[in-house]
């Protein structure tokens, strides 16, 4: 066999995105391997969220390539990219407050176009199994009949992560999941993401360095739309440029 490398699950090559001449992403290249969890750090305005916007098709790259699962994403729209298996969590939780925890998950399942096409979801045993499995993962089984609006901020974030898991993405993109969480919730979120990473690839953007350290994964620091440093948390946090533009502020 000649194949020496397995293809990356996510591959950005020379991606540039300009807003009125300002380069939010500037020749950004990044590869995430299947099964990996990657943490992305970097100062405000570094392009972290814009990178997620490009991956999910919300924003078009002006230049460069984005591949997921060996498919070129440049001509696909947001719904097609989601169908390929990319789930994205925005910073602010957007759960349905007046529905129960369980119903939020059920709604998320039924929004999954592929699942809906394949099965009759109504009252199906598969649906119940999937909901139970997600509730178990996000540890909200005991609160399944509670209204989502009465959950704590951290629990709402977990529920929203659960709503993404219900759609069984191959790649989960999570933008600042622990902002506004207590220390205990932050710790539990690190555990949750590590658990999820046992069978899914994860890219997580965070400013909370204690949380990033807790994840224990490879770290990429973005700055002015490109990669400034990449490596272990110790390597990246000791990098002089990273200290200068980000950590030492």
- List contacts with ligand ATP (CB under 6 A): 19, 24, 42, 44-50
- Enumerate the β-bridge partners of residue 65: 13
Closer Cβ to Mg ion, 78 or 126, answer by number: 78
**Cα–Cα distance, 164 to 105 (Å, whole number):** 9
**Cα–Cα distance, 47 to 40 (Å, whole number):** 10
**Cα–Cα distance, 51 to 31 (Å, whole number):** 12
Closer Cβ to ligand ATP, 135 or 222, answer by number: 222
Minimum Å gap between C-beta 48 and Mg ion is 5
- Interface segment toward Mg ion; rule CB under 5 A; list 2-10, 48-56, 135-143, 235-243: 48-56
Minimum Å gap between C-beta 175 and Mg ion is 6
- Interface segment toward Mg ion; rule CB under 5 A; list 32-40, 41-49, 92-100, 220-228: 41-49
E strands, the chain, in order: 10-19, 22-32, 37-41, 63-68, 71-72, 86-89, 171-175, 201-205, 218-223, 226-231
| Residue 90 binds which entry of Mg ion, ligand ATP, none, CB below 5-8 Å type-dependent | none
Closer Cβ to Mg ion, 54 or 105, answer by number: 54
Minimum Å gap between C-beta 44 and Mg ion is 7
Q: Does position 49 bind Mg ion by CB under 5 A?
A: yes
Closest CA to 219 of 41, 12, 10: 41
- Interface segment toward Mg ion; rule CB under 5 A; list 22-30, 47-55, 57-65, 106-114: 47-55
**Cα–Cα distance, 67 to 9 (Å, whole number):** 8
**Cα–Cα distance, 137 to 216 (Å, whole number):** 20
Closer Cβ to Mg ion, 47 or 154, answer by number: 47
- Chain contacts with Mg ion (rule: CB under 5 A): 48-49
């Amino acid at each position: 066999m000649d194949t020496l490398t397995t293809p990356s699950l996510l591959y950005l090559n020379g991606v540039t995105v300009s807003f009125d001449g300002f380069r939010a992403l500037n020749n950004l290249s990044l590869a995430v391997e299947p099964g990996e969890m990657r943490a992305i750090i970097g100062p405000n305005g570094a392009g972290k969220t814009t990178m997620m916007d490009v991956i999910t098709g919300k924003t078009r790259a002006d230049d460069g390539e984005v591949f997921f699962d060996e498919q070129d994403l440049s001509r696909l729209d947001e719904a097609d990219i989601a169908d390929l298996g990319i789930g994205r969590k925005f910073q602010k939780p957007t759960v349905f407050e007046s529905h129960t925890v369980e119903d939020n998950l059920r709604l998320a399942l039924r929004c999954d176009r592929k699942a809906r096409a394949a099965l009759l979801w109504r009252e199906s045993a598969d649906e119940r199994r999937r909901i139970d499995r997600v509730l178990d993962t996000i540890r909200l089984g005991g609160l399944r009949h509670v209204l989502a609006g009465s959950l704590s901020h951290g629990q709402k974030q977990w529920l929203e992560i659960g709503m993404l898991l219900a759609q069984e993405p191959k790649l989960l993109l999570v933008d600042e999941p622990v902002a506004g969480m207590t220390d205990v919730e932050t710790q539990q979120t690190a555990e949750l993401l590590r658990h999820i990473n046992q069978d899914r690839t994860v890219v997580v953007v965070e400013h909370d360095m204690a949380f990033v350290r807790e994840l224990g994964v490879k770290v990429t620091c973005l700055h002015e739309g490109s990669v400034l440093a990449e490596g272990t948390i110790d390597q990246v946090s000791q990098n002089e440029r990273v200290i200068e533009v980000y950590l030492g502020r």
